[in-house]
Amino acid sequence: MEDTLSVKTNIDRSLLSGWMRPDTYGVSSTHAPDIISIYKLANVLHVTPDFLSGNADEPQETAVSTPRPKNLRDIFALETIALDHIPLDDKRKEKLIEMIYAVFDDN
C-alpha cells in the first residue's frame, strides 16, 4: 500500500512508512505529516483531511475548528486579481489555473 500511496501522492515511501507505524507516528512533530501531505493523502484515500489527522470521527466529516488553506480558484473567482497592476479577466485567471496545474502536476 505504501508504494501505491507514494506514487499517487509523490510522497517519499520512507516518510509514508514512518507515518503508518503507530509506534513512530507522533513521537516528534518533525516526523509528522505536513499539511500538504495530509491533503494529498486524504484526496487519494477519499477521506477528509480532518478525519486523516484525527480531528473528525467519520471519513467525510469536517471539523469547524481545523484551519483551512484558501482555495486559489475561490480567490480568483471572488477577488479582483492584478498582475503588474493590470486586472486579470476570467479568461486569464483560468489560464493561470491551467498553468499552475501543469507546473505542479505530480502524476
For the stretch 16-35, pLDDT in tens is 887 777 565 554 555 678 88
Compare 107 and 80 and report the one with higher pLDDT.
80
Backbone φ, ψ for residue 84 (5° rounding)? 55, 40
What value, to the nearest 5°, has the Cα angle with vertex 79 and ends 47 and 102? Answer: 55
For the stretch 48-100, pLDDT in tens is 999 988 888 999 998 887 777 888 989 999 999 999 999 999 999 999 999 99
Helix axes 2-9, 35-45, angle to 10 degrees: 110
End-to-end CA distance of the chain: 17
3-state SS assignment for residue 62? coil
Query: How far is Cα 27 from Cα 66, in angstroms, rounded to an integer?
Result: 21
pTM (2 d.p.): 0.61
Reported as type and span, the H/E element at residue 1 is none
